[in-house]
Amino acid sequence: MTTTTDTAASETAAPQTTTTPTHQEVVTHAFVQDVTVPGTGYGDEASTLALITLDNGHDHTKPNTFGPAGIAELHGVVETLRVRAEAGEIQAVGITGKPFIFAVGADLTGVPSVTERDQALGIARAGHAAYAAIMDLPVPTFAFVNGAVMGGGLEIALACDYRTMSAGVPAVALPEVFLGLVPGWGGAYLLPRLIGPEKALTVIVENPLATNRMLKGPQAAALGIADVMFGPGDFLEESLRWAGRILTGAVSVERADHTVDESAWSSAATKARALADAKTAGRSPAPYRAIDLVEAARTRTRDEGFAAEDEALADLLMGDELRAGLYAFDLVQRRAKRPAGAPDRSLARPVTKVGIVGAGLMAGQLASLFAQRLEVPVVMTDLDEDRVAKGVGYVHQEVEQLLGKGRISPDRANRLRSLVTGSTSKDGFADADFVIEAVFEEMSVKQQVFAEVEAIVAPECILATNTSSLSITDMAGGLRHPERVVGFHFFNPVAVMPLLEVIPGERTDESALATAFAVGKTLKKTTVLVKDSPSFITNRLLGRFMGEFSRIVDGGTDVAVADEAIAGLAPMPPFVLLGLVGPPIALHNSQTLHRAFGNRFYVSPTLERIVAARKPGYYLPDGTLDPDVEALLEKPADPVTLTVPEARERILSVLAEEIGLMLQEGVAQAPMDIDLAMITGAGFQFWNGGIIPLLDREGVTAKVLGRRILPPGVASVPA
């Protein structure tokens, strides 16, 4: 298998192309040293344990992974140890990692160049062969899990007879399902037999589908993944001491036979399938394949289990969902860290004080975030004392909650509280370096606010706007220093959603833009550069999506049919989302877009009536349609009832059309930024690669635009 770009070493932020540069695998070596382990205490009769250290020669920022050469080396080392064990030279084999890292799984950087199913099958089988060789060693085997352990790394540990875990391990996971794979180097077979099907499915399916949740070492040990846990300070010494006690029989490990209780397996699988339905609507094959493997592990022999894993891995590796998942993973891991089009970071100016105009709910969220991440004074202003007190009070309340949960210390709480102050006067902005407005979404109001702020602040002070739709250039128009105005668009809830759209106006200078990106990075947001255009990327595309959905429903198609048509696209059904953001805001968005772009964007009469009736949404808290809303629904004289495929085609087509226009207009730097924004700002899914890989995959772009947007192979199996 040849591999492509190397995840961490590559410095290029250029778009991926079909030509995959040959890539040198960073080989994780398997070094071996014999160590003397004691019997019941150091100094007693000793055994010789061959200790394998997994180490790719880099520090912990580049974790151990396994490509073909690494797997081959490990397999070779294990074969040598088998000979030595048979000769009586060693009485045990141990495996540990380099400092802070055990191993984090297979090296997936080569997957884009896998074009034949046989290649995929070869990857699966090579891993299984090496791990089976560990399992077949004639002496006891130990994994000393000293650091982060995921995927194929955890499967090495599962292949050993015994496992010790450091209490300092920061991450234990089988994240394959998150990406679109299954734990197919033995994990799906071995883990349920070790800790039982229910806990195994938590690790294999539930956690990956919960935005790839990871376990800490102690949690993993508590699940039974490790036999014993030791502190990180002398983890290896204590592990070897424990191994010695196992070898002499001074301690032993009792393991339950989980295969006895058939009902536990079927009920765990049923529960997991329901969860997968809820999370993926059946649109990602990986969780279902994983659940099938786990369920069947109860009665399969090891060889049968491993063979089934081989087949599942080969199928998934050759599926577009995985390729889209890897594309999405690369976007959020790599592209998000180096925003395309951002000016050099050295141009950024320091920000030592922040001003926020407005003290409403959004302003409070911003103040809380800026204080926590930037750790500089934040001054909030509003028209009257009451609103100011409310805004500052919101932040203090947030701080109290963090303190109450033990997330911050009392000292830190004091610091954060003292950082955030409020006033009805903007005089406090005089020495601010960055002022952001979060006032009413109306151009004249925002222009007036900026004029007032400009009268007080220094000429270099950044003036940022959290507008979700208005023109940055227009907003800067009347100012003496329009070059310092920049759009800084957050997504609600600010603390949770990673995306931050950064929008320069026509006259915004490089230094102001660099400062905005630097602030965004310090705020730990995913920053995406967007051209100054109505509603930018996410709200525009989401608006087109919601609008078309409403148009179809208003036209007479049942909501359930429309929901089914777009299942697995967004994290929740559109009308549920509408309830969350609030009908007035949703209506305002659609009206804004309609004004900007005309009839492509639909303003729903039903929604207008819901807003007029001051209803909080379509649904009651129990999820059923509000009977009051039922009376407000559009009753078309000539209803058009679409089928699920028809509705799907309609919605996907308008998305393809809108994306085509956005790319043509240069709204986004590249197609990848649209997907990155939809994943991090709207919660679109990995297995669709955000949205564009799905549109390419289903042929929608070809039909609507006459071409694919991403070349084959970038987020799909190469042709």
Q: How far is the CB of 30 from other proteins (least distance, A)?
A: 8
28 lies in the site for other proteins, by CB under 8 A: no
**Interface mask toward other proteins for 179-218; x: CB under 8 A:** ----------------------------------------
Q: Is 282 helix (H, G, I), strand (E, B) or coil?
A: coil
The amino acid at residue 390 is K
Determine the Cα–Cα distance for residues 468 and 592; give it in Å rounded to an integer.
Answer: 10
Q: Among 16, 53, 511, 515, indicate the residue that binds other proteins (CB under 8 A).
A: 53
Nearest to other proteins of 51, 366 (CB atom): 51
Interacting span for other proteins (CB under 8 A) from 63-71, 237-245, 504-512, 554-562: 237-245
**How many residues belong to the site for other proteins (CB under 8 A)?**
25
Nearest to other proteins of 37, 512 (CB atom): 37
Q: Among 17, 31, 580, 639, indicate the residue that binds other proteins (CB under 8 A).
A: 31
160 lies in the site for other proteins, by CB under 8 A: no
73 lies in the site for other proteins, by CB under 8 A: no
Q: How far is the CB of 25 from other proteins (least distance, A)?
A: 19
Nearest to other proteins of 46, 347 (CB atom): 46
Determine the Cα–Cα distance for residues 63 and 85; give it in Å rounded to an integer.
Answer: 30
Interacting span for other proteins (CB under 8 A) from 53-61, 133-141, 302-310, 311-319: 53-61
Q: Are 197 and 190 in contact (CB under 8 A)?
A: no
Nearest to other proteins of 36, 267 (CB atom): 36
594 lies in the site for other proteins, by CB under 8 A: no
Q: Among 14, 19, 43, 254, indicate the residue that binds other proteins (CB under 8 A).
A: 43
Q: Among 4, 20, 27, 32, indicate the residue that binds other proteins (CB under 8 A).
A: 32
141 lies in the site for other proteins, by CB under 8 A: no
Q: Among 86, 116, 118, 234, indicate the residue that binds other proteins (CB under 8 A).
A: 234
Q: How far is the CB of 187 from other proteins (least distance, A)?
A: 25
Q: Among 16, 38, 465, 632, indicate the residue that binds other proteins (CB under 8 A).
A: 38
Determine the Cα–Cα distance for residues 506 and 512; give it in Å rounded to an integer.
Answer: 12
Strand 162-166 versus strand 141-145 pairing type: parallel
Provide the residue count of the chain.
719
Nearest to other proteins of 165, 565 (CB atom): 165
Interacting span for other proteins (CB under 8 A) from 34-42, 207-215, 261-269, 411-419: 34-42
Nearest to other proteins of 157, 518 (CB atom): 157
Tokens of 175: 């994240």
Interacting span for other proteins (CB under 8 A) from 176-184, 195-203, 229-237, 667-675: 229-237
Interacting span for other proteins (CB under 8 A) from 38-46, 540-548, 563-571, 598-606: 38-46
DSSP characters over 550-615: HHHHHTT--HHHHHHHTTTTSSS-HHHHHHHH-HHHHHHHHHHHHHHHGGGS---HHHHHHHHTT-
666 lies in the site for other proteins, by CB under 8 A: no
* Three-state helix/strand/coil letters over 74-106: HHHHHHHHHHHHHCCCCCEEEEECECCEEECCE
Omega before 493 within 30 of 0, i.e. cis: yes
Strand 354-357 versus strand 162-166 pairing type: unpaired
Q: How far is the CB of 100 from other proteins (least distance, A)?
A: 11
156 lies in the site for other proteins, by CB under 8 A: no
DSSP characters over 345-392: GGGPPP---EEEE--SHHHHHHHHHHHHHH-S-EEEE-SSHHHHHHHH
57 lies in the site for other proteins, by CB under 8 A: yes
Give the strands of the sheet with 29-37, arranged side by side: 29-37, 47-55, 92-96, 141-145, 162-166, 228-230
Nearest to other proteins of 98, 446 (CB atom): 98
Q: How far is the CB of 180 from other proteins (least distance, A)?
A: 34
Nearest to other proteins of 12, 36 (CB atom): 36
Q: Is 507 helix (H, G, I), strand (E, B) or coil?
A: coil
Determine the Cα–Cα distance for residues 584 and 582; give it in Å rounded to an integer.
Answer: 6
The secondary element (H helix, E strand) that includes residue 221 is helix 217-223
Footprint on residues 339-368 left by other proteins (CB under 8 A): none
Which residues is 96 bridged to in the sheet? 53, 144
Footprint on residues 77-96 left by other proteins (CB under 8 A): 96
CA dihedral 703, 709, 713, 714 (to 10 degrees): -150
Q: How far is the CB of 201 from other proteins (least distance, A)?
A: 34
The secondary element (H helix, E strand) that includes residue 309 is helix 302-317
Cβ burial, residue 633 (10 Å; 0-12/13-18/19+) = middle
Give the residue from 179, 63, 107, 64 showing the smallest Cα distance to 687.
179
508 lies in the site for other proteins, by CB under 8 A: no
440 lies in the site for other proteins, by CB under 8 A: no
Q: Among 42, 299, 584, 628, indicate the residue that binds other proteins (CB under 8 A).
A: 42
Q: How far is the CB of 216 from other proteins (least distance, A)?
A: 18
Q: Are 278 and 85 in contact (CB under 8 A)?
A: no
Cα–Cα separations (whole angstroms), residue 638 to 191, 276, 563: 57, 38, 22
584 lies in the site for other proteins, by CB under 8 A: no
Footprint on residues 97-136 left by other proteins (CB under 8 A): 98-99
Determine the Cα–Cα distance for residues 262 and 297; give it in Å rounded to an integer.
Answer: 11
Q: Can you list the alpha helix ranges (DSSP code H) found in 432-533?
A: 443-454, 472-476, 510-522
Nearest to other proteins of 47, 589 (CB atom): 47
Nearest to other proteins of 52, 587 (CB atom): 52
Determine the Cα–Cα distance for residues 535 and 545; give it in Å rounded to an integer.
Answer: 13
Determine the Cα–Cα distance for residues 176 and 285; give it in Å rounded to an integer.
Answer: 12
Interacting span for other proteins (CB under 8 A) from 50-58, 115-123, 349-357, 532-540: 50-58
167 lies in the site for other proteins, by CB under 8 A: no
The binding site for other proteins (CB under 8 A) comprises 31-33, 35-38, 42-43, 46, 51-53, 55, 57, 96, 98-99, 231, 233-234, 236-237, 240-241
